[in-house]
Chain A
Amino acid sequence: MDEANPGEASTGIVTPATGGVLLTLAHPALERSRANRALAKAAKSLPGVTFHDLYETYPDFAIDIEAEQTALLAHDVIAVQFPLYWYATPALLKEWFDLVWLHGFAYGLEGNALAGKRLFAACTTGGAAKAYHAHGYNRFSMDEYLRPLEQTAYLCGMVWETPFVVHGAAVKNDEELKAEADRYKARITSLLTSADADLGA
């Protein structure tokens, strides 16, 4: 990799004018998930959002690292949307972090391509909100379960945005899901506007 100036990508790709939200969705069977479909549909209609469906793009897990890094560089906000599986991300999203967020690119002495950007996690769970509590059967809070992502942001010099969580996703009725989708849309809009503000500053 190049010894590049900070901000100028260490991949050798000159960072294009950045902006907007890269919304990376990872759901292995989106056709089964009402909640994630509703959220994604609401968010991707927003101008400034680049929608990126990981399982649709890489059904065989053969991730195009260069293309992914270029996409990361081109956006201010990196959003990941996924269902919580065994208290972690689905397999392909983990693979994406493993293969794309590389030493020398995302972290390490020369790896500062993502520094200053923001990392935002949107997550659905099967269990109800009260289960994610010291006294609930899941015993830990969502904050605790999302620590690996939060630490990823920290190591990469990124700002960790407050996560967006939908609990009890599968038992919600259409009306409740609609409300969650609106809430999601508003949240992403606020990320977009604060990104604009940053750019203007």
Chain B
Amino acid sequence: MPFLLQAMVYLGAAVVSVPIAKRLGLGSVLGYLIAGVLIGPFAFSLVGQQADVMKFAEFGVVILLFLIGLEVQPSTLWDMRKAIFGLGGAQVVGTALAVAAVSMLLGLPWQTALAVGLVLAMSSTAIVLQTLDEKGLRQGPVGRAAFGVLLLQDLAVIPMFALLPTLATIAPPVAHGEAAGHGAGNLIENLPAWAQGLSVLLAVGVVVGGGRYLVRPIFRFIAEARLREIFTAAALLIVVAVAGLMQTVGLSPALGAFLAGVVLAESEFRRELETDIEPFRGLLLGLFFITVGAGIDLRLVASQPLTLIGIVLGLMVLKFLVMFGLARLFGAQAKAAAAVATALAQGGEFAFVLLTFTVGAGVIGATLAALLTAAVAVSMALTPVAMILYERIAQAIDAAIPTQVPDTGDFDEGEPDIIIAGFGRFGQITGRLLTANGFRSTVLDSDIEQIELLRRFGRRVHYGDATRLDLLRQAGAERARMLIVALDDREKTAELVETARKAFPDLIILARAWDRRHAYDLLANGADAVERETFEAALSLGTTALQKLGYRAHRAHRAASFFRRHDRKTFEDLRPVWGQEEAYILASRDAAQTMDRLLAADLSRLRPGDGGGDWDTASLDVELKERADREAARS
């Protein structure tokens, strides 16, 4: 098929199916996979030979790892050693043994069973990270644990290539079995072991040393030439070169790219490298997912549906259980452990490579390998679905057992002067100011992570939804003087203000407002005073801006004070018409103009040089000058 036509098919499939999948809430990965299945040889058969495209697409994984490396400072990597070697090692060994045990129960000889276990212990870096990214989980503890495991799996591939041939039970079907898959391009396999080890060390040394000392001057040189596309080319060149080098010494190209990324994470070109390479990652990964989808042998699926379903479900459940148990053992919370275990439950792209390799080495039979390849591909396709399932179940559990959260805690601080509802970025500042001034406060918050964090800092925070009247009573609202509502939720804030006003008529209620409209609503609901949450911060930043633009501090301070005064006045002026939509819009248009005019007049009082204004002596100076002239004329 002509190249352009083929490119058109791939791009067209992606452009059509990914947005639809995304709209349906399935995520982009599943969209690509479905696109792949549709254009694949077993459905509409729009694309032919997959092998070339597959190689190209696998480079997407290499780029992905490079980009991840760029985000990981070497020190972070050291901090993650427990996740990588502890959790990661345990996952590979544990999963391999569990899968092997089940395979033996199903009648495979132990050697083959172990090989299957090792192959299936791998997870898909591309799918896991893309999925976690989309769910916003990649930066947190879930992402760290998953990433640690994936990194170790990449490392584990190296010894696996050495280990797997020793498990051979059947005669290799091809004479040059070794050459299949992994062996291709490996220039050092004929060297003695010590030389191989040495060349691996040397290659790693080249990547680290080159990244440290060679790449920077080269990039500086290129950057000075100001040729954007050459910079991009150079960035790609680095990734390709490192991947090639790693392949030559028999290391995983992805691992090498990751290493190169880590080395360059501290260079000043990090951001540029990231933005330049990012688009390639997206497209190539997409291509990768499409090829995985296209590789699913629908005929095999159709001929042995039950076996395949059994293998896929068995694999995913087993991998989930092992990972969940291990994550819990390593101290993760149940919810996080379930997320990690769900994310890592599929087979990985390395399984494809390893399966080809094992068939060549006579470890696993061709039929079984084909079945497993299909199973791995299907399990990859099911990962986004599994993640959706996980989310649903987690939500259901959260909703069903709210008792899982920390207890409210005893309200034994004595009678508080102030109850603070919401102790995040806003409430903490208000609260600290008040407690520093000797007022006793009781703090309520409903964000579990926030509470745990605050408790670790030794702050007493009660868990609970402050809109619940019984909880407010328990917190001492009947005797407190003031309630400060500092929630980060517009509706809850309004609800709480209204509830508290009805139940405790004498309580002073102050509330954090989202914006002007919210502020009016809160005042209407019975708040005694409100503060728009970003107003003072924005004004303060504006003051700093004026100073950096050359204003003296006192002038900038006064300019901001004038602004505040006029804005507050406008706010009060418009309050009576709030709620009558038409009148409000008309009045606010007028008010905005009036405010601009009055503010401009006030600010002109601060402007030096045009006579009049604060601390200006121009009119006095004229008089003094005239007086001096008169006196001079008289004498």
Contact = CB atoms under 8 A, between A and B. Distances in A.
A59 B621 contact: no
B334 interface: no
Contacts of B558: 59
A170 B621 contact: yes
Contact of A126 (B606, B608, B624): B624
Contacts of A57: 553
A55 B553 contact: yes
Contact of B617 (A30, A31, A170): A170
Contacts of A60: 557
Interface residues of B, number: 21
Interface string B6-26: 000000000000000000000
B620 interface: yes
A32 B557 contact: no
B154 interface: no
Interface string B539-580: 000000000000011111110000000000000000000000
A29 B628 contact: no
Contact of B624 (A28, A30, A55, A170): A170
Chain B binding surface SS class: helix
B614 interface: yes
A59 B628 contact: no
Contacts of A28: 554, 614-615
Contacts of A170: 617, 620-621, 624
B624 A168 contact: yes
Contact of A29 (B555, B621, B625, B631): B555
Contacts of A104: none
Contact of B616 (A32, A128, A171): A32
Interface in B615-633: 615-617, 620-621, 624-625, 627-628, 631
A55 B554 contact: yes
A171 B608 contact: no
Contacts of B615: 28-29, 32
A199 B609 CA distance: 45
Nearest to A92: B554
Interface residues of A, number: 17
A2 interface: no
A174 interface: no
Interface in A57-90: 57, 59-60
A56 interface: yes
Contacts, number: 53
Contacts of B556: 59
A127 interface: yes
Interface string B580-618: 000000000000000000000000001011000011110
A31 B608 contact: yes
Given A29-B614, A32-B608, A126-B621, A168 B628 contact: yes
B625 A171 contact: yes
A55 B552 contact: yes
A128 B557 CA distance: 33
Nearest to B551: A31
Interface in A34-63: 55-57, 59-60
Contacts of B606: 29
B617 A126 contact: yes
Nearest to A27: B615
B624 A31 contact: no
A118 B606 CA distance: 35
Interface in A141-177: 168, 170-171
Nearest to B628: A128
Interface in A12-34: 28-32
Contact of B553 (A32, A59, A171): A59
Interface in A164-199: 168, 170-171
A63 B614 CA distance: 22
Interface centre among B606, B614, B616, B617 (most CB of A within 10 A): B617
Nearest to A137: B627
Given A56-B552, A57-B553, A29 B608 contact: yes
Contacts of A32: 608-609, 615-617
Contacts of A130: 631
Contacts of A171: 621, 624-625, 628
15 contacts: A28-B614, A29-B552, A29-B554, A29-B606, A29-B608, A29-B616, A31-B552, A31-B555, A32-B616, A55-B553, A56-B552, A56-B554, A57-B553, A126-B617, A168-B624
Interface of A: 28-32, 55-57, 59-60, 126-128, 130, 168, 170-171
The 3 closest A-B pairs by CB, nearest first: A59-B557, A59-B553, A29-B615
